[in-house]
Structure 1
Amino acid sequence: MTDPAILEAAQAEADIRRWLERAVIGLNLCPFAKAVHVKGQIHYATYLDTHEGRLIDALLAEARALVALDAEVRDTTLLIAPHALTDFLDFNDFTERAERKLARAGFEGVLQLASFHPHFQFAGTEADDITNATNRAPYPTLHLLREDSMDRAVEAFPEAEAIFERNIETLEALGPAGWTALDVGPGSATS
């Protein structure tokens, strides 16, 4: 009999993969994601606890594991936390604390932290503004990126600074109904 925690972690990872493939790569929200996905250089880790202090510990452990490997083996890590920090404002505060912890642990200039949340909301936007979808994932997710890899990707990508504006245009053209049709919510990978 399979452990329920293993099944739950597998479902969370499948949901994040589906979101990555359909939204992030499918809509080209991040032009750098496809290459590392196709090469199998994304590591998925799932944190099933609710305790945010242990989530910081898990993030630091994932950061150490990421830098211990060559980028050709593991270029980036997605730490999925389906039960932790379900409130976006709490998650946003946590992300700031996590960035400080990573810096104190010696990862400043080595790793960047990006964040995704089902209720992500940019400052100055309404909760239902479609442009918030650029950072909306099925679960609270912390993304560790290698600074060197990001520098190389940005250098190779013409007009990298225009990505954000292009994403806004893409999402506004897609609209809320189009986003919903992508079917990238929790549990969608089983349908």
Structure 2
Amino acid sequence: MSASDPQLLTREWVQQLVIGEGLCPFAAPVFEQLRIDVCAATKLTDITHALVTLLREAAATSPQQLPTALFVVPNALHDFYTYLDWVDVCDQLLVDQGLEGEWQLATFHPRYQFAEEDMDDWSNYSNRSPFPMLHLIREADIEAALADVSHPERIPERNKKHLRRLGREGLLQAAPALAKSGLL
């Protein structure tokens, strides 16, 4: 596989790290139906327009046909703080499109850093991805999935501990896609 293929690399990252290491207990059941949209644009207006198009399509599609989607931006938003500013715009788009309460956006970025963690803390890898991306998630699906998970509030802390335990070598062994992506 070519490291330059954002869709394939993203799919491999989800399979190896997100599902393989159990970071998201909701990902495995929808993996085969996971839609990955790669936006090759470099201008924020074009990227935002493409996201709105995906949001509208997702909202008009049944959960069985499109349970979830990743919106991947390989050619822009490389600065984490610029990305976070754009995420604020995207959250407002959910409101503007009348989708707040139906959909939510989860954030992933190659330089993701939790506010309370150092940049080099391995726990950041629970939200570090090969490319800047947004995960579009139906709120009803989250609620249904949470009903089947014991202590879902413990997932973030469990992930942090697990990733710290793995460290660089463990992450590379568990998810070779990370080496291909340049994340490690």
Same fold (TM over 0.5): yes
The one of 108, 120, 123 aligned to 2:115: 123
Q: Does the 8 Å CA contact 2:121/2:164 hold for their aligned counterparts?
A: no
Question: Which residue does 2:16 correspond to in 1?
Answer: 22
Q: Does the 8 Å CA contact 1:15/1:186 hold for their aligned counterparts?
A: no
* In 1, Cα distance between equivalents of 2:180 and 2:122: 21
How many aligned residue pairs are there? 179
Question: Which residue does 2:145 correspond to in 1?
Answer: 153
Identity among equivalent positions (%) equals: 34
CA RMSD across the alignment: 1.7
- Matches for 1:43-54 after TM superposition, within 5 Å: 43-54=35-46
* In 1, Cα distance between equivalents of 2:118 and 2:89: 25
Asked if 1:185 is matched to 2:175, the reply is no
- Matches for 1:1-191 after TM superposition, within 5 Å: 11-37=5-31, 40-181=32-173, 182-185=175-178, 187=180
Give TM-score, length-normalised by structure 1. 0.89
* In 1, Cα distance between equivalents of 2:83 and 2:137: 19
Unaligned runs of 5+ in 2: none
Deviation at 1:24, TM superposition (A): 0.1
Deviation at 1:117, TM superposition (A): 0.5
1:33-79 deviation line (CA, Å, top 9, x unaligned): 00001xx2211101001111211111111111112111111100101
Question: After the TM superposition, which parts of structure 1 deviate over 6 Å for at least 4 consecutive aligned residues?
Answer: none
Unaligned runs of 5+ in 1: 1-7
Give TM-score, length-normalised by structure 2. 0.92
Q: Does the 8 Å CA contact 2:112/2:125 hold for their aligned counterparts?
A: yes
* In 2, Cα distance between equivalents of 1:185 and 1:171: 13
* In 1, Cα distance between equivalents of 2:117 and 2:75: 25
